[in-house]
Structure 1
Amino acid sequence: MATKHVLIVDDDPAMRDMISNYLASHDFEVSTAADGSSMARIVARKPVDLIVLDLKLAHENGLDLMRELTGATDAPVIIVTGHRGEEADKVVGLELGADDYMTKPLGLRELVARIRAVLRRAERMQRVSRRAERHTYRFAGWQLETRMRRLISPTSEALRLTAGEFNLLMAFLRSPQQVLTREQLLAASRVHDEEVYDRSIDVLILRLRRKLEANPSDPTLIKTERGVGYVLAVPVEVL
C-alpha cells in the first residue's frame, strides 16, 4: 500500500504527538489538528486519505465537525469516543458517515490495524467503481449514476452518498426484489460486524430510507423482512 496521508484531530497535544509519532513509524504521512478550523485548512490544502476524529473536543462538538466533513472530503473517518458508555455518540457518528470507531484509551497497534482495514475497504470500493460499475440504475423514479456516484431524485435533485450508503444501495440494485440477509449486507457495505457495528446495517438502512423514502417510518422501497433481512421492493432498470 502506497504511503497514505492520515489526519489526526484531537485537542490533547500529548495524544496528538503520541498517535502521530506511532503512525509515522508505520510509514504513514501524518498531519494533526487541534480544532475544526485547523482541520478544515489541512483538508483544503492537501488530499487526506483518512481522518481520525476525537468526538470530545474541549470547545467543539466532534459530531458537528463530522457534518462539516461531509461536504469537504470523501476521506473515510474513524471516530474516537471517551469511553464505552457513549454509545449514542457512536451511533450518531455512524449515521453521519463514520467508517469505524474506537474508544479511549486507544491501543495504538489496534488503531493502525483499523486504519489499514478502512483504507483497504475504501480502495476496493474505488477499484470496483472504476472497473465495473459504470452503469446507470433506475428505480421508482430515482437514478443512480455509478461512475459519478451520483443519486438523482425524481425531482432531479442530486444527493450525496457516503461510501457505506453507496455500497449498500448497490447491493440492493444488483439484487432487486430479493431478500438480502444482514450478513450479506454487512459484507457488501464493508463494515465491521462487532460491538455497535451489529447495528450498523440498521443505521445505514435508516440513512438510505431518509434519502429515498417519502415517509422513512413507513418505507415502500427498502422494506424489512423481520428475522431475515431487507429487500428493495421495486424493479430496477439497468442502462
Structure 2
Amino acid sequence: MASGRGEQLIQDLALLHTLGVRLVVVFGIRPQVHEALTAAGVEPTRIDGRWVADRAVMAHVEQVAAHQRLWLEARLSLGLPSTPLHGVELSVISGNLVTAKPLGVREGVDFDHSGEVRRVRASAIEGLLEKGSLVLLPPLGFSSTGEVFDLDASEVAQHAAVALKADKLILLGESEGLEDEQGALLRQLSPAEAEPRLTHAVPGSELARHLQAACTAAREGVARTHLLSWRNHDALLGSCSPGTAWAP
C-alpha cells in the first residue's frame, strides 16, 4: 500500500472472492508507522527489530492502523462501471477478532504495548466467512482489560491460518522468497529444510518474520505456505495454482 500497489492487490482479492475463495486479509503498517514516527521526531527503542510500543509510539500505530483499514474498506467497496469491482458486492468485516498479551519485560526492557497473539477467534471468523464476507485483520490485538497491543502482522496471519485450518498462508513481502547459494529461487522446501536459514536472516527483518511464520504454520497443519513478492503483479493469483510458489 505504501508503494502504490494496493489498487492492483485489491483487484486480485476481489477476483479471488468472486471465484469462491474465502479470504482473511491481514495488513501490515510498518512503513507507514515509521514514516509517521520520523515526521513526529519520535525515535522508538528497538530490540531485535521490534520497537517498544510506548504511549508515543502507540498513538501513531493506532492512527495509522485505523487509516489503512478505512482505505482498504473504501477500495473494496468500489463498484463503479469503470472499475474491476463493478457488479461485485464485497462485505468487509473487521473487529476485535484477535486477543493479545504483552511481550512483557525481555532482556531488562519493558516492551509496554508491544504484544503477541494470545488467541484468534476462529469460530467468529468462520461465521463471517460462511456469510460470504472478507475478513480484515489489522496488526493489533485486544486484551480482556481493554488494552490495545501492537502486533506483528505475519504473526497474526500465522495464528489466523492455523486457527482456521487454512488451505494456504500467503505472505507478501519485498523478496521473492528464498534463494540457494547460486541465487536461484527455491520453489519448495519442508520446514526442516527452511528453518536453518533463519540463522542467516537479520533478526526482526521481514524475511526472518515471514520465514518463521511460514515454517510454524506449516508445522501446525497449514497445507501450503507461500513467500511471495508484492512487486510481482501475478504473484497472488499465481499462488492459487499448485507448484507455482515457494512453500515449506
Q: TM-score normalized by structure 1?
A: 0.29
Q: Higher relative contact order by CA 8 Å / sep ≥ 6: 1 or 2?
A: 2
Higher helix share: 1
